[in-house]
Amino acid sequence: MTGKLIVMEGGEGGGKTTQLHYLHRWLCQLPAVQSLQAEGQITDIVVTREPGGTLTGQRIRQLLLDTSPEEPLSDRSELLLYAADRAQHVDHWLKPRLAAGAWILCDRYSASTVAYQGYGRELDLALIDQLNQIATGGLVSDLTLWLDVPVEVGLGRAQARGESDRMEQASLAFHHRVRQGFSQVFAQATYPVEQIDAMSDEMTVAQHIQAAMLRWLSQWYPTHFSS
Ligand code: Z5A
């Protein structure tokens, strides 16, 4: 793989989606990134998400976030649907673009399954590890940005938007377990993770993310980014 997979993770209302778009715009405007593109070292900088990064994934996403299904999803079927969404995303979207040299900014990836289904729903963590292996086919992120915010703050932001989905309607205890799950999974991660304090205003959080990105860009492309 010659591209880079950069993942945004975290609980509800941490600002992942907001920050992913700021990051995309900022990267596209950086002169060093533009020269990497001109030299053909980067083909494209694209944004995607899980669940729902593919056409099949969009259908799976509707099933997963439906608040009034004809019958409730069981926790195990929910887990398998997230895994199916990821397998399709990895095979048909992420791997081909990474192989062609794209930088991909992805809203959620495998750590979300550990945090939500493993810690939140309390499903077997070893089984989730196995499923993540199958779904990712071994593809890990080059950098994960963990937007961390206290549960009450994040839920407050998400609820202020109005309508809520199945996950947002889960109990406070569930969301506390999810945050603990992210903290556990990232403490043991074998791939690079930057914890970002997402409590501040949007622009301050964006600056923290840019500072973290620049540290990694100068490692990946030392001739284009001085540290
Ligand atoms: N899920 C899972 O269970 N297992 C898995 O394996 C995967 C996912 C991959 C996806 O829903 C759901 O799937 C998710 C986990 C589960 N649970 N839920 N719900 P989604 O994609 O619709 O939702 P999300 O990923 O949780 O996104 P979100 O709730 O929209 O949160 P966010 O992306 O982190 O935040 P945002 O949309 O950028 O901002 C939320 C609001 O806060 C918005 O009004 C912003 O204007 C505001 N905001 C953002 N930043 C700030 C700051 N800094 N200050 C103040 N206000 C802010």
Give the global pTM. Answer: 0.96
pLDDT of residue 57: 98
State pLDDT tens for residues 57-78. 999 999 999 877 788 899 999 9
Q: How would residue 207 be classed by pLDDT, with cut points 50, 70 and 90? A: very high
Q: How confident is the model at residue 98 (pLDDT cuts 50, 70, 90)?
A: very high
Distance CA 167, CA 108 (A): 14
Distance from Cα 21 to the centre of ligand 1, integer Å? 13
For 156-159, which contacts have Cβ atoms below 8 Å and span 24 or more sequence positions?
Answer: 156/13, 157/12, 157/13, 157/15, 158/12, 158/13
Residues of the chain with pLDDT > 70, as a percent, come to: 97
Is the model's pLDDT at 227 over the cut of 70? no
Q: In this structure, are residues 103 and 45 in contact, taking their beta carbons and an 8 Å threshold?
A: yes
| Cβ(182)–Cβ(148) below 8 Å | yes
CA atoms within 13 A on the CB side of 173: 2
- Cα–Cα nearest to 134, from 201, 86, 190, 173: 86
Task: Verify whether ligand 1 is closer than 6 Å to residue 17 (CB atom).
Answer: yes
Ligand 1 pocket check for 66: Cβ under 6 Å: no
Of residues 163 and 220, more confidently modeled = 220
pLDDT confidence of residue 165 = 72
What pLDDT is attached to residue 158? 87
3-state secondary structure of 46: strand
Determine the atom of ligand 1 nearest the C-alpha atom of 20.
38
Closest by Cα among 101, 131, 102 to 114: 131
Q: What is the pLDDT of residues 109-120, one digit of tens each?
A: 999 999 999 999
Specify the ligand 1 atom closest to the Cα of 113.
6
Which residues are paired to 5 by β-bridges? 104
Helix (H) or strand (E) holding 17: helix 16-29
pLDDT band at 1 (very low <50, low <70, confident <90, very high): low
Condensed to tens digits (0 to 9), the pLDDT of residues 160-202 reads 887 677 677 778 999 999 999 999 999 999 999 999 999 999 9
Vertex 223 angle, CA 222 and 227, to 5°: 45
Of the residues 167, 171, 178, 205, which should be mutated to test ligand 1's pocket, given the most ligand atoms within 8 Å of the CB?
167
